[in-house]
């Protein structure tokens, strides 16, 4: 019995091994087919990587088969080993090819999706532009800077001391009424400035002559809104103080500015007027830019348009700022910038300047 068994054992084991070898070969071939079939369905790089790990990875199917080789005979091992290596190489090859195919497919997809059509019209970017008031202000600034003037600034919330008292404006002046001025304090000591003239005082307080400044800015008055009035508007203040400055210098300076803005032929008219901070004082008109002086609706048939107030600086104002009126004299003026802008562009309603309507503003 023992002999029989001993005699049978090698055969038995041989048969068993034979079956196992055949099974492994089959399994390997089947794996290859499975892998190739799965590969053909792969569409993305991550699917491809998952497939590579499944078949070729350390814990993959081929490795699993190779691990079973320990049970094979010394003759069979290389046979299965070689087959396994061939199949591995085959799958690796196919995976490599698929990877390349996916990459070039991706590139061409990217190229088609990112194709640039240079014939499509570009996007229109609208850039801002200067407000008509700013355009005219820049022109005026340039003219004055060319004559040696500096630009000065002052606060819009102003002390009544500067806007009224130091400008020689009496306590009874109508501009001091609550109905005319936006007071900030009950005691009337602070308000929204009603003119740019207080900047004169601020400049003279801080600097001895020679002084040559203009000061543009917003001013506020309790006016009802209509085609020529607004509670907020713009002025350009001017001040020149030096030895021997006269009314003639004022006329020469303003005539030059008007001729630069409205043309050489544009005439001016100096009318006597009263301002508490100048003596003598005047108002300056320009010949109507619409009708050329013949008379029309814009100039109310007069042929003239009022542009500014001006005069020779009152000695009291100079002295109040620490400037000796026996040594120095000066002239001052206050231009209505909005008026000037309307005349410049033929705008017939002040409200257009403050409504922020792009249909209007885009014309400048
Ligand atoms: N401040 C005056 C006004 O608002 C205009 C003015 C007149 C300014 C005469 C001046 C000046 O500097 O000298 O009506």
Of 309, 318, 339, the one to substitute when testing ligand 1's pocket (max ligand atoms within 8 A of C-beta) is: 309
pTM exceeds 0.85, yes or no: no
CA of 166 relative to ligand 1 center, distance in Å: 14
Nearest to 151 by CA among 68, 221, 211: 211
* Integer Cα distance of 196 and 80 in angstroms: 104
pLDDT (tens digit per residue) in 156-169: 999 999 999 999 99
Q: What is the mean pLDDT of residues 218-242?
A: 95
CA of 106 relative to ligand 1 center, distance in Å: 76
* Integer Cα distance of 30 and 28 in angstroms: 5
Confidence at residue 83, expressed as pLDDT on a 0 to 100 scale = 85
CA distances for 223 relative to 173, 233, 298, angstroms: 17, 10, 21
CA of 245 relative to ligand 1 center, distance in Å: 18
Confidence at residue 27, expressed as pLDDT on a 0 to 100 scale = 86
Residue 16: pLDDT band by 50, 70, 90 thresholds? low
Confidence at residue 7, expressed as pLDDT on a 0 to 100 scale = 46
Degrees to nearest 5, angle at CA 169 with 163 and 175 = 75
Residue 4: pLDDT band by 50, 70, 90 thresholds? very low
Q: What angle do helix axes 45-56 and 2-41 make, rounded to 10 degrees?
A: 170
Say if residue 6's pLDDT is above 50: no
CA of 333 relative to ligand 1 center, distance in Å: 5
Confidence at residue 14, expressed as pLDDT on a 0 to 100 scale = 59
| Cβ 215 under 6 angstroms from ligand 1 | no
Burial 241-276 (b: 16+ CB within 10 A, else e): beeebebebbbebbeebbbebbeeebebebeeeebb
Q: Any idea which of 58-67, 147-156, 217-226 has the lowest mean pLDDT?
A: 58-67
Contact 70, 14 (CB under 8 A): no
* Integer Cα distance of 67 and 261 in angstroms: 99
Confidence at residue 25, expressed as pLDDT on a 0 to 100 scale = 84
Confidence at residue 232, expressed as pLDDT on a 0 to 100 scale = 97
* Integer Cα distance of 312 and 310 in angstroms: 7
Contact 263, 275 (CB under 8 A): no
| Cβ 217 under 6 angstroms from ligand 1 | no
Residue 227: pLDDT band by 50, 70, 90 thresholds? confident
| Cβ 320 under 6 angstroms from ligand 1 | no
Give the 3-state secondary structure percentages of the chain, helix then strand then coil, rounded to 5. 50, 20, 35
Closest C-alpha residue for ligand 1 atom 12: 333
Q: Where are the beta strands (DSSP E) in 178-328?
A: 190-192, 211-220, 232-242, 268-275, 278-287, 304-313
Element (H, E) at 150: strand 150-151
Would you list the DSSP string of 195-210? SSTHHHHHHHHH-PSP
More confident residue, 27 or 268: 268
Q: Is 99 exposed, middle or buried (0-12, 13-18, 19+ CB in 10 A)?
A: middle
Of 174, 334, 339, 340, the one to substitute when testing ligand 1's pocket (max ligand atoms within 8 A of C-beta) is: 334
| Cβ 278 under 6 angstroms from ligand 1 | yes
Nearest to 68 by CA among 17, 108, 142: 17
At residue 278, the 3 state secondary structure works out as: strand
* Integer Cα distance of 131 and 358 in angstroms: 10
CA of 275 relative to ligand 1 center, distance in Å: 7
Residue 275: pLDDT band by 50, 70, 90 thresholds? very high
Q: What percent of the chain has pLDDT over 90?
A: 58
Confidence at residue 13, expressed as pLDDT on a 0 to 100 scale = 59
pLDDT (tens digit per residue) in 64-98: 887 887 778 888 888 888 888 888 888 889 889 88
Say if residue 3's pLDDT is above 60: no
Nearest to 345 by CA among 138, 143, 133: 133
Closest C-alpha residue for ligand 1 atom 8: 334
Say if residue 260's pLDDT is above 90: yes
* Integer Cα distance of 303 and 220 in angstroms: 29
Residue 1: pLDDT band by 50, 70, 90 thresholds? very low
CA of 156 relative to ligand 1 center, distance in Å: 16
pLDDT (tens digit per residue) in 18-66: 677 788 888 888 888 888 898 888 888 888 888 888 888 888 888 888 7
Of 154, 230, 333, 335, the one to substitute when testing ligand 1's pocket (max ligand atoms within 8 A of C-beta) is: 333
Q: Which residues, other chains included, contact 263 with Cβ-Cβ below 8 Å and sequence gap of 6+?
A: none
What ligand 1 atom has the least distance to the C-alpha of 278? 13
What ligand 1 atom has the least distance to the C-alpha of 311? 13
User: What integer best gives the mean pLDDT of the chain?
Assistant: 91
Residue 282: pLDDT band by 50, 70, 90 thresholds? very high
CA of 297 relative to ligand 1 center, distance in Å: 26
| Cβ 332 under 6 angstroms from ligand 1 | yes
Closest C-alpha residue for ligand 1 atom 14: 309
| Cβ 311 under 6 angstroms from ligand 1 | yes
More confident residue, 18 or 100: 100
CA of 348 relative to ligand 1 center, distance in Å: 24
* Integer Cα distance of 262 and 295 in angstroms: 17
* Integer Cα distance of 140 and 258 in angstroms: 10
What ligand 1 atom has the least distance to the C-alpha of 194? 4
Confidence at residue 17, expressed as pLDDT on a 0 to 100 scale = 62
């Amino acid at each position: 019995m023992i002999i029989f068994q001993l005699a049978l054992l090698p055969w038995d084991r041989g048969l068993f091994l034979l079956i196992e070898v055949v099974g492994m070969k089959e399994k390997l071939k089947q794996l290859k087919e499975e892998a190739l079939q799965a590969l053909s369905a792969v569409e993305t790089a991550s699917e491809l990587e998952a497939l590579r790990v499944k078949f070729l990875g350390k814990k993959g199917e081929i490795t699993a088969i190779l691990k079973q080789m320990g049970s094979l005979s010394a003759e069979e091992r290389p046979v299965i080993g070689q087959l396994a290596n061939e199949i591995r190489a085959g799958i690796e090859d196919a995976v490599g090819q698929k990877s390349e195919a996916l990459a070039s497919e991706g590139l061409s997809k990217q190229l088609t999706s990112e194709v640039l059509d240079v014939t499509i019209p570009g996007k229109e970017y609208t850039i801002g532009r200067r407000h008509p008031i700013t355009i005219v202000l820049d022109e005026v600034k340039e003219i004055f800077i060319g004559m040696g003037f500096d630009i000065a600034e002052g606060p819009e919330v102003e002390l009544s001391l500067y806007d009224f008292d130091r400008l020689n404006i009496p306590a009874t002046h109508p501009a001091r009424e609550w109905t005319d001025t936006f007071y900030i304090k009950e005691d009337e000591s602070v308000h929204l400035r009603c003119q740019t003239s207080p900047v004169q005082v601020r400049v003279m307080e801080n600097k001895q002559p020679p002084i040559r400044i203009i000061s543009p800015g917003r001013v506020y008055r309790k006016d009802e809104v209509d085609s020529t009035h607004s509670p907020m508007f713009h002025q350009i203040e001017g001040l020149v103080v030096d030895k021997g400055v006269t009314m003639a210098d004022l006329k020469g300076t303003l005539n030059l500015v008007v001729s630069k803005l409205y043309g050489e032929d544009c005439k001016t008219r100096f009318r006597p007027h009263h301002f508490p901070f100048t003596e003598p004082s005047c108002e300056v008109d320009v010949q109507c830019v619409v009708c050329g002086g013949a008379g029309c609706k814009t100039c109310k048939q007069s042929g003239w348009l009022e542009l500014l107030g001006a005069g020779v600086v009152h000695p009291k104002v100079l002295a109040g700022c620490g400037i000796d009126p026996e040594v120095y004299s000066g002239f001052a003026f206050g231009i209505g910038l909005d008026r000037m802008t309307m005349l410049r562009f033929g705008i017939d309603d002040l409200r257009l300047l403050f409504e922020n309507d792009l249909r209007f503003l885009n014309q400048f």
